[in-house]
């Protein structure tokens, strides 16, 4: 690659662009890495920075919950794989966990560019050479390699790993049960019957459905019927 032109922005429903890259677990072809599972790809502005260090420790701790749901984690930071290797030792020491998922080495920011992860708006968010930092992006990608969620956080604000897992649960549960999830939903809470299902069919599928308004129909969905049941 080597381009600095911005590619067309990715949207929910776009196919995740493929790439090959060096990672802390060796060279990967991203589509092969996705395989037939789910992937959470998340970027970091820079190695050996404080907020990123706390985030990677938290992802390492929560990785078993993602694994149970068939989700692989993969990070990206705009430094070399060798630099990541030294940083991971610090992350493990500080967090008391073992970081096992790969981190992509994207020193020339070409993967960050192809995923629209560079900060083009905030002129203060640049590295010591004045180059735009990668922002804290999260892409949740499904087994069809479709992007299902995009989150963007500023460099100053660490993400919430529990929220990323909650979104995975909402997406996987919605794919299975024809439901959507309301504000602040967590597995075990009532869910919303998908608006595309007519009442007659909905009453058969969800006998405990409650119609609050014609467009707002709740039903219980026990935690053991969600993706969090694993």
Which residues 6+ apart lie within 8 Å of 93 measured at CB? none
| Nearest to ligand BEZ of 103, 141 (CB atom) | 103
Select from 26-34, 45-53, 105-113, 142-150 the region that touches ligand BEZ (CB under 6 A): 45-53
Q: Min. distance of Cβ 49 from ligand BEZ in angstroms? A: 3
Question: Cβ–Cβ contacts within 10 Å for residue 158, how many?
Answer: 15
Binding of residue 50 to ligand BEZ (CB under 6 A): yes
Binding of residue 51 to ligand BEZ (CB under 6 A): yes
Distance CA 182, CA 189 (A): 9
Select from 6-14, 48-56, 166-174, 196-204 the region that touches ligand BEZ (CB under 6 A): 48-56
52 as an active site residue: the answer is: yes
Q: Min. distance of Cβ 205 from ligand BEZ in angstroms? A: 46
Binding of residue 92 to ligand BEZ (CB under 6 A): no
Say if residue 84 is exposed, middle or buried (CB neighbours under 10 Å; 0-12, 13-18, 19+). Answer: buried
Binding of residue 83 to ligand BEZ (CB under 6 A): no
Distance CA 124, CA 19 (A): 29
Alpha helix positions (H), the chain: 30-34, 50-68, 81-95, 110-114, 161-177, 199-205
The binding site for ligand BEZ (CB under 6 A) comprises: 45-46, 49-52, 133, 155-156
């Amino acid at each position: 690659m080597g381009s600095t032109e911005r590619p067309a922005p990715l949207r929910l429903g776009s196919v995740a662009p493929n790439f090959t890259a060096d990672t802390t677990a060796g060279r990967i072809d991203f589509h092969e890495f996705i395989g037939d599972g789910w992937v959470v790809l998340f970027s970091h502005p820079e190695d050996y920075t404080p907020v990123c260090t706390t985030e990677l420790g938290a992802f390492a701790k929560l990785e078993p919950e993602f694994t149970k749901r068939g989700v692989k984690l993969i990070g990206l930071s705009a430094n070399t794989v060798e630099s990541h290797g030294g940083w991971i030792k610090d992350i493990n020491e500080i967090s008391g966990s073992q970081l096992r998922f790969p981190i992509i080495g994207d020193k020339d920011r070409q993967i960050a560019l192809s995923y629209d992860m560079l900060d083009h708006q905030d002129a203060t968010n640049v590295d010591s050479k004045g180059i735009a930092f990668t922002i804290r992006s999260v892409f949740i990608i499904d087994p069809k390699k479709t992007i299902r969620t995009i989150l963007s956080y500023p460099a100053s604000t660490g993400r919430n790993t529990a929220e990323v897992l909650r979104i995975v649960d909402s997406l996987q549960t919605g794919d299975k049960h024809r439901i959507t999830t309301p504000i602040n939903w967590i597995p075990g809470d009532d869910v919303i019957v998908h608006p595309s299902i007519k009442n007659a069919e909905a009453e058969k599928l969800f006998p405990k459905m409650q119609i609050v308004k014609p467009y707002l129909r709740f039903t219980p969905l026990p935690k053991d019927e969600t993706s969090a049941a694993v």
